[in-house]
Amino acid sequence: MKLSKRVLDMQESPVRKLVPIATRVKKQGKKVYHLNIGQPDIPTPKVFIEAINNYDTSVIKYSFSQGEPVLINAIRDYFERDNIHFDEDEILITNGGSEALTFTTISICDPGDEILVPEPFYTNYNGFTGGVNVSIKPITTKAEEGFHLPSKEEITKLITPKTKAILFSNPGNPTGTILTLKEMEMLADIALENDLYIISDEVYRGFAFDGLKGISMGSIKRVQDRTILIESVSKRYSACGARIGSIASKNKVLIKNILKLCQARLCVATLEQVGAAALYQLPDSYTDEIRKEYQARRDIVYKTLQEIPGVVCEKPTGAFYVVVQLPVDDAEEFVIWMLEEFELDGETIMLSPAEGFYATPGLGKNEVRIAYVLNTDTMAHAMNILKEGLKAYKK
């Protein structure tokens, strides 16, 4: 029996593929601090469960394929805070941001088409596109430049007749970079001049540090008809397991056709939508407090990295990640060595090798992604383990 070339060609997750090693060493008694996965440790707001508990029904019925009206309107109100207006028929609820990106790719691309993506990028973009025979064409960014975009000329030379869209996360996963308004205006110009869609993955919007503000692509009115906003409750509200995402676009024809895919999978879970609606109704002060916590963690991570000889990184300004060049030849070998060979008082850490976040062969081989998703004391302790581990590894 044969498997499809499509599934055989799909990449393993660089975030999860070393998990069996971590599981094994934990069974052997070693404590592992997980800095490899973006799973927030902050409690999910109680309003989520309270809304579900207060949902009065005798039968859990199918939801609407487009989503529960209470959630759609809560998301509309959320965008209105930034003067971005959506009608009810311009938002679709999805099973997480993952389904939102998959449905978007299917709807705007045919097999063999291409999407431009700044690299390093969220590695599952490969799964959302490759699974439907669409290719990612990388726009290379560099650690020493803070992973900001190259010039307009560098980007436009990558466009071919097969190019259908530009996809990016802002704030960025895995880099923690926030695009400037100038960069976003440049992408808008490129999209208009080359008739491309803009897919803006904004699941970390609200996590902007040092007084910066993450600007939604939806605020650039001249490209609203070609902009697709991807949302999720996973990170902002620490509700990864709820699997609630959304697609929002002023392009009603696009939304109407994505709805066909929503109808084919029937609906998103009803109760989780009820809980998610309560999350979106939380005031901005909630996000402000969470942002302060992540900025404190970022400061600890960056300070330690600056103390380690040979490390190259710019201070991340958003999300809760940083991509770091380490003074090693092979970051994956180092991550495995940290798990299997190194310990500090019976403890070690797990990082994500960054090579899998690139599409260009050879890039990221000496880089890792660090997710600062542990409380400040634990984060400081884990970063000290990294510092001591690098000293031992170089010897």
| Residue 127 near residue 10 (C-beta atoms within 8 A) | yes
Domains along the chain with CATH numbers: 5-43+285-394 (3.90.1150.10), 47-283 (3.40.640.10)
| Residue 141 near residue 179 (C-beta atoms within 8 A) | no
With a CB cutoff of 8 Å and minimum separation 6, the contacts of 316 are 175, 176, 177, 209, 298, 302, 322
| Angstrom distance (rounded) from CA 305 to CA 383 | 8
| Residue 139 near residue 89 (C-beta atoms within 8 A) | no
| Angstrom distance (rounded) from CA 142 to CA 157 | 18
Structure token digits, residue 108 = 């705007």
At residue 268, the 3 state secondary structure works out as coil
With a CB cutoff of 8 Å and minimum separation 6, the contacts of 36 are 15, 18, 350, 351, 352, 369, 371
Nearest of 368, 386, 385 to residue 143 by alpha carbon? 368
Cβ-based burial of 147 (10 A; exposed 0-12, middle 13-18, buried ≥19) = buried
Confidence (pLDDT) at 199: 98
| Angstrom distance (rounded) from CA 331 to CA 336 | 9
Confidence (pLDDT) at 14: 63
Tell me the H-state helices in 231-319.
Answer: 252-264, 270-280, 284-306
Q: How many CB atoms lie within 10 A of CB 158?
A: 16
Residue 231: φ, ψ to 5°: -125, 165
| Angstrom distance (rounded) from CA 97 to CA 124 | 11
| pLDDT, mean of each 10-residue run, the chain (395 residues) | 84 76 94 93 96 94 97 98 97 98 98 97 93 96 94 98 98 96 98 98 95 93 97 96 98 98 98 98 95 97 96 94 96 96 96 94 95 96 98 92
| Angstrom distance (rounded) from CA 69 to CA 93 | 10
Q: How many CB atoms lie within 10 A of CB 54?
A: 9
